[in-house]
Structure 1
């Protein structure tokens, strides 16, 4: 796409694994973005 920047996502980690994500990033292995995702714990009756 002309004129658009498309980020390259190397790895995704859930928030519970942020320490591992930081180790991976800190070692210089990342070839793109390292993304931390938020976990949504559904409760019984939740519709979202």
Structure 2
């Protein structure tokens, strides 16, 4: 019984880690897009 609970905890924590990794990558991706847009706008107005 304890083995099942242990494997469930490990499995869920791994899924949560992947979920947070995806969110973090998504945030960084949006951030890089925005910095690229802002740099492009600054270059075009200069």
TM-score between both structures, scaled by the size of structure 1: 0.27
Give the TM-score, by structure 2 length: 0.28
User: Which of structures 1 and 2 has the bigger CA Rg?
Assistant: 2
Instruction: Tell me which of the two structures has the higher relative contact order, counting C-alpha pairs closer than 8 angstroms and 6 or more residues apart.
Output: 1
Q: If each structure's helix is expressed as a fraction of its own residues, which one has the higher value?
A: 2
